[in-house]
Amino acid sequence: MKTVLIIDDEEDIRNILEYNLKKDGFQVFTASNGEDGIQLAKESSPDIVLLDVMMPGMDGIEVCEILRSTHETSKLRICFLTARNEDYSQIAGLDAGADDYVSKPIKPKVLISRLKAIIRRSNDQIIVEETTANSIVIDREKYLVTKDGNAIHLPKKEFELLALLASKPEKVFDRDIILKTVWGDSVVVGDRTIDVHIRKLREKIGDHHIKTVKGVGYKFKPNS
């Protein structure tokens, strides 16, 4: 039985989602605020977290960032559910480490299909336990990156982007492949999202490791 954690301050939304998810065979946990949701995520280790963005106190973006930066919850699948559909909030949610983003209102059957797709996509991923590129070690099992023996903490999408590029040093990955592999087919993001993640990676691991191939994409360059 797959488990879902719903974090939403609106009781009606929680009740509707819980009813439909249970009807489809999911085990459901619910929380009405970010603090309780984080604690419940640690305790229940759900297959996926359905997270509202606009909540009083700690909003969904902050909750997502905390879940991604906490060891017990860093690998959880997270899907944002919100009435806000502006481009900037979608980018903020995905940059915080979300796996997907859906806007209210959405039909329960459509939402459940999206959740199943996220879980299935994650289960189908080929995990390379450890990739070494000279001074940089990428451990997929532990979601850990070290450079010259020093740990570098990366959000989920930055980690997956780095792991993809470093899996085949000097190979040029075009933008379509990057989007499909790191964000999946069900998430609509633009080139700006990739560029933001590349910029952040360069700041953390060094400019010389990630090269831009104009009009195509990016490649990883190990130390020479």
Whether 45 and 118 share a structural domain: yes
pLDDT for residue 58: 92
Query: Residue 40 sits in which domain range?
Result: 3-124
Q: Which of 101, 124, 147 is the last residue of a domain?
A: 124
**Beta strand ranges found along 83-214 (DSSP E):** 100-103, 130-133, 136-139, 144-147, 150-152, 173-174, 210-213
pLDDT for residue 193: 84
Whether 104 and 141 share a structural domain: no
Q: Which of 124, 145, 160 is the last residue of a domain?
A: 124
pLDDT in tens, the chain (224 residues): 789 999 999 999 999 999 999 999 999 999 999 999 999 999 999 999 999 988 989 999 999 999 988 888 988 899 988 776 555 566 666 677 788 878 777 788 888 888 888 887 655 443 344 555 657 888 877 778 888 778 888 888 898 899 889 888 888 988 888 888 888 765 566 668 888 999 999 999 888 889 999 889 999 987 64
pLDDT for residue 48: 93
CA distance 142 to 170: 25
Whether 61 and 144 share a structural domain: no
CA distance 206 to 211: 11
Whether 15 and 119 share a structural domain: yes
CATH code of the domain in which 86 resides: 3.40.50.2300
Whether 7 and 88 share a structural domain: yes
Whether 110 and 151 share a structural domain: no
pTM, full prediction: 0.58
* Rounded (to 5) percent helix, strand, coil in the chain: 45, 20, 30
Whether 73 and 175 share a structural domain: no
Whether 15 and 109 share a structural domain: yes
CA distance 152 to 187: 27
The amino acid at residue 209 is H
Q: Indicate the length of the chain as a whole number.
A: 224
C-alpha 105 chain-centroid distance: 22
pLDDT for residue 122: 59
Whether 155 and 48 share a structural domain: no
Whether 137 and 102 share a structural domain: no
CATH code of the domain in which 160 resides: 1.10.10.10
Whether 80 and 101 share a structural domain: yes
Q: Which of 124, 155, 170 is the last residue of a domain?
A: 124
pLDDT for residue 26: 94
Whether 89 and 110 share a structural domain: yes
Domain count of the chain?
A: 2
